[in-house]
Amino acid sequence: MPIQDKKQDTKPTYYLTTPIYYVNARPHLGHTYTTVAADAVARWKRMRGYDVLFLTGTDEHGQKIERSAAKAGKTPQEFAAEVSSEFRGLWDRMGLTYDDYIRTTEPRHKQGVQHLFSELQKRGFIYKGTYSGQYCVWDELYVEGTPGTPCPDCGRITETVSEENYFFKLSAFERKLLEYYEQHPEFIRPEARRNEVMAFVQGGLRDLSISRTSFNWGIPVPGDEKHVIYVWMDALANYITALGYGSENCDNFNKYWPADVHLIGKEISRFHCVYWPAFLMAAELPLPKSVVAHGWLLFEQSKMSKSRGNIVRAETVLDVLGADALRYFLLREVTFGQDGSFSFDALVQRYNADLANGYGNLVSRTLAMIVKYFDGVVPAGEAADASIRATLEQQTEQFDQRLEPLDFSRGLEHAWSAIAAVDSYITAQAPWKVAAKDEAESRAKLAGILYTASEAIRMITALVYPVIPEAATKVWQQLGLGDIAKADLKDLKWGDLPSGTKLGELGSVFPRAEKEAIERMQKMEEDRQSQTAADQEAASEQAAARQTKTSGPAEQPPPPHVPEPFSATGLSPEQEADAVAQQAAADQQVGPVSAVSDPLPPPQPVVEPVSPAVPAEPKIGIEDFAKVDLRVAIIRVAERVPKADRLLRLEVDLGYEQRQILAGIAGAYTPESLIGRKVVIVANLAPRKLRGLESNGMIVAASIGEKGTPVLAGFLEDVEIGARLK
């Protein structure tokens, strides 16, 4: 309808992309993490009134895929189509709201890539030369070194190639790129990735080989069909070919380009922040506004990836806990931009603590009281509580502020602070006691409490909708507000819940997960291994890689990472060092596990038992007390220390830093009960070692009874992490 079109045109646009995933592996949680994050951003931006274009898809060309297909006894086309539809099928099952799905084997893409190649050629940025050297087919990576050199990324032996290639004059863009980074500090986020990329470019750029002749599975170079275009040039161009670049119809390109955000995993920063902008500069096209690189999802201490064989499938979690549980966990647990660990234990803990007992319980207790005391009709809210209203308004604002830089974890902390505040409010007001009194005044008070609680739930539900859309949709219906997808949530403000609204049908949104859910998921994951052609193929590749690694030249330690002359390595030296360290830790079981055999004396309790009697010590001056840096921190990780009955290893977050503390509180607290709990720590205590592990600070606790049972210090109000006690 013309009127709607016009209205749409007035909306600001927001173009958001994920990487396009290789089709040699079925989707796992690593891919799901990026796509879920993008979906949450897309939903949030739509909710705030943007005309969003959210693009995802699959990267289907290259020798790696050609070989995978051959091993599976399929043509590359069949193989790619099969795995691509698995990705798409999973995103659909999860209800992800991508607007377009691009496959690099589509004609629209081929046309666009060839157009881009020709444009660069026309402008004199492409020339012919010869490349002789090493190439890793697995990583589509040129590697510096002699024949037999293993790939610095995956350790597989590189292949020696000698080819006549087309080259892109990347070296011509060194200065321009550096100037661009300087002038647009927001282009690469977070800062750590920006620094890495800048250091790489400052180290000097050499021209980039952008064609291959040794295989056919790719897009032919226009006019010289025995060459296919380098997969990374092919792949990166998807961000514009999906918009119609190089075709008759460029409307979407004109409307949405440049992209607002390319969301990627950190290992492909260099491709997106060096090669891609250089191609665009050469073609005289605008650059994307930002490239945001998130960290890695780790499983069993190393990056979850098919080649490491440590993957978990999203389907396993979907079958047991549902899509919202997975979305919430990924976005809440992993601090955006940093690496984060996945475990079934942590997933179930978060689910129960935050979704079942937190949000789910608040909704069901509040709405059940409206049914009981007001026949299921939202009462008039004249007596709405001012402090709850202020909390909601404040947390809503902070949620938005955190989501702008895609800091989901902190954003969700604000939403859950609001949930905690409303929970405490209900407990303090005890509506069930108010209801027991018969006076009219009590009735009005009861109405005020329940209006306040239900209006708060409405605002919280609107806030968390981008992250847990299924649950939010149900709660919106239970509130009697209809379809949340059609609601105008652009300006979320207090008081928009009309009193008199008849509640919908009630039902539990997040039923509590039992312990056996963990075992079930673990079992399902085992059963799911190697089910598809792609997996079997990956397994044999992995086996082959292991074989070459343990025989002949691959036995040598991999060389230090050096920037390749004109190539693309996905990992910076730091990232590689990280990955190697993580792998070494996993392989050699260093870290917490080795502490088992640490022959140190038994740990001293970190919480010293103190008699409740008046202390005998002399009094101290305020300046002495001021030396003690007491801070509020939140426990992110808690686990037992093997063979140390009383000791727990905690990872606490102070907002400005994360650190490890060992605490002798295992006799009083289970690790699960501590995750997400705010505690007080002595932040400036000199580090010390317990059982071979460093403890950086001390948790403050009261010491009760003869046995000195520890009881952790805490607050009734919600206090921000990092706050100082003085």
| Residues forming the site for ligand MSP (CB under 6 A) | 19-22, 30-31, 33-34, 59, 235-236, 238, 264-265, 267-268, 296-297, 303-305
Please give the structure tokens belonging to residue 16. Answer: 């958001």
Q: CA 311, 38, 481 angle in degrees (round to 5)?
A: 115
> Considering all CA atoms of the chain, what is the largest pairwise distance in Å, rounded to the nearest integer?
92
Please report, as a single letter, which amino acid is at residue 119.
E
φ, ψ dihedrals at 188, nearest 5° = -115, 125
Nearer to ligand MSP, 420 or 539 (CB): 539
Q: Residues 6 or more apart from 15 whose CB is under 8 A from it?
A: 52, 53, 55, 243, 256, 257, 258, 259, 260, 261
- Least distance (Å) from ligand MSP to the CB of residue 597? 30
Nearer to ligand MSP, 259 or 662 (CB): 259
- Least distance (Å) from ligand MSP to the CB of residue 412? 18
Rounded-to-integer distance, Cα 129 and Cα 210, Å: 11
- The number of beta carbons lying within 10 Å of the beta carbon of residue 172 is 15
- Least distance (Å) from ligand MSP to the CB of residue 20? 5
Query: Cα–Cα distances in Å, from 558 out to 232, 454, 563, 664?
Result: 24, 60, 14, 42
The residue with its CB nearest to ligand MSP is 30
- Least distance (Å) from ligand MSP to the CB of residue 568? 11
- Least distance (Å) from ligand MSP to the CB of residue 303? 5
Q: Could you tell me how far CA 374 lies from the centroid of its own chain?
A: 42
Nearer to ligand MSP, 568 or 638 (CB): 568
Nearer to ligand MSP, 235 or 278 (CB): 235
Q: Are 163 and 128 in contact (CB under 8 A)?
A: no
Nearer to ligand MSP, 236 or 503 (CB): 236
Rounded-to-integer distance, Cα 328 and Cα 47, Å: 18
- Least distance (Å) from ligand MSP to the CB of residue 535? 14
Q: Could you tell me how far CA 550 lies from the centroid of its own chain?
A: 35
Nearer to ligand MSP, 89 or 552 (CB): 89
- Least distance (Å) from ligand MSP to the CB of residue 490? 30
CB-based burial, 385-410: b 16+ in 10 Å, e otherwise:
beebbebbeebbebbeebbebbbbbb
Closest CA to 504 of 371, 607, 629: 371
Nearer to ligand MSP, 103 or 646 (CB): 103
SS3 of 164-199: EEEEECHHHHHHHHHHHHHHCCCCEECHHHHHHHHH
- Least distance (Å) from ligand MSP to the CB of residue 300? 12
Nearer to ligand MSP, 31 or 189 (CB): 31
Q: Residues 6 or more apart from 358 whose CB is under 8 A from it?
A: 416, 419, 420, 423
- Least distance (Å) from ligand MSP to the CB of residue 271? 7
Nearer to ligand MSP, 19 or 431 (CB): 19
